[in-house]
Amino acid sequence: MDAGLVRTYLGVPLYRPKVAFFEFSSCEGCQLQLLNNESSLLDFLALVDVVNFREAMKEKADDYEIAFVEGSITRSDEAERLKDIRSKAKVLVALGSCACFGGVNQLKNRFSLDWVKKEVYGNSPVETEPVRPLGDVVRVDLKIFGCPVKKEEVEKIVTNIAVGKAVAHPKYPVCTECKANENICLFDLGEPCLGPITRGGCDSWCPNSRFGCWGCRGPAEDANVEQLKKIMKEYGFSEDTILDRLECFGGFSAFADTLRKSGEKNKGTSA
């Protein structure tokens, strides 16, 4: 596109921010999602001025306004680097479940650090800390949920930022979109699913393939976790099945902690 020409929408000049992409402890799959559809990539790049994206380009610059940050914080040097990014960025976006909630990485927090180090690195241990989401270290301005993030959703958010439209996440749970996609309810098929309590916006990505929801986008607003626990029980799923899913991505950590404690207490009293 012509660099000198300022594009407008309804007469309002577009905001074409300088953006940078960074990653911490993660699989970098969220960033990959963005590169993963050639048909809209050029339009996407016309909306933003990418100055730093290790997965996609060689050039690097520190002059950015929006930082998209993937991954969770697991070492002290990561925390320092994140603070540095925060100081340079006007807007810091947590990209994906690791950045928003700790993601799969935070499963480590259930075990002692010594055991973890030994299990993972054996006799050549490296420094590691309990996993933290970005928000525990710096201020996060916007969260984009999902493991991985949904490309269409990121594109919509970036388009909204460019034209100056509010970014709003769905408040309803996955079921709302799952029913609209005419899926068979996974409970009918005898599969557990966190769809009734997990924030929608993924267009019921997993249930569309008859794969129960694991809650990667964290809780829907007004999520009725207590009721889903009862339902899971009625359908014959163990408390561990529920706990595995609630704990998997870290979005439900508050509920999972309570459930784990009450589970341990019950085991204690019954023993």
Interaction between residue 8 and another protein (CB under 8 A): yes
Q: What angle do CA 204, 207, 209 make, to 5 degrees?
A: 115
Of the ranges 58-66, 105-113, 218-226, 255-263, which one interacts with another protein (CB under 8 A)?
218-226
Residues 6+ apart with CB under 8 A from 205: 150
CB of 221 to another protein, least distance (A): 5
Residue in 197, 213, 256, 259 binding another protein, rule: CB under 8 A: 197
Is position 233 an interface residue for another protein (rule: CB under 8 A)? no
Provide the minimum distance between the beta carbon of 101 and another protein in the complex, in angstroms, as a whole number. Answer: 20
Choose one: 8-16, 56-64, 95-103, 118-126; the region binding another protein (CB under 8 A): 8-16
Q: Tell me if 6 contacts another protein by CB under 8 A.
A: no
CB of 21 to another protein, least distance (A): 18
Where does 57-150 show beta strands of DSSP type E?
66-70, 91-95, 142-144
Query: Look-up: residue for tokens 């480590």?
Result: 108
State which of residues 87, 222, 269, 271 lies at the interface with another protein (CB under 8 A): 222
Strands 66-70 and 91-95, by their bridges, are: parallel
Cα–Cα distance for residue pair 10/218, rounded to 1 Å: 36
Residues 6 or more apart in contact with residue 32 via CB below 8 angstroms: 55, 148
- Least distance between another protein and beta carbon 227 (Å): 6
Q: Which amino acid, residue 95? A: L
Least distance between another protein and beta carbon 14 (Å): 8
With 0-12 CB in 10 A as exposed, 13-18 as middle and 19+ as buried, what is 66?
A: buried
Measured from the CB atom, the residue of 12 and 271 that comes closer to another protein is 12
Choose, by CB under 8 A, the member of 147, 149, 175, 216 that binds another protein.
175
Q: Which residues contact 128 (CB under 8 A, 6 or more apart)?
A: 74, 75, 108, 113, 116, 117
**Total interface residues for another protein by CB under 8 A:** 47
- Tell me whether residue 46 or residue 61 sits nearer to another protein (CB atom): 46
Residue holding tokens 């706990």?
243
What distance lies between CA 18 and its chain's CA centroid?
Answer: 22
What is the token pair recorded at 61? Answer: 């610059």
Q: Which of 81, 187, 212, 241 binds another protein (CB under 8 A)?
A: 187
Pairing assessment for the beta strands 142-144 and 49-53 based on DSSP bridges: unpaired
Q: Which residue, 133 or 195, has its beta carbon nearer to another protein?
A: 195
Question: Which chain residues interact with another protein by CB under 8 A?
Answer: 7-12, 14, 40, 43-44, 46-47, 155-156, 159-160, 162-166, 168, 171-173, 175-176, 179-182, 184-185, 187-190, 195-197, 220-222, 224, 227-228, 231
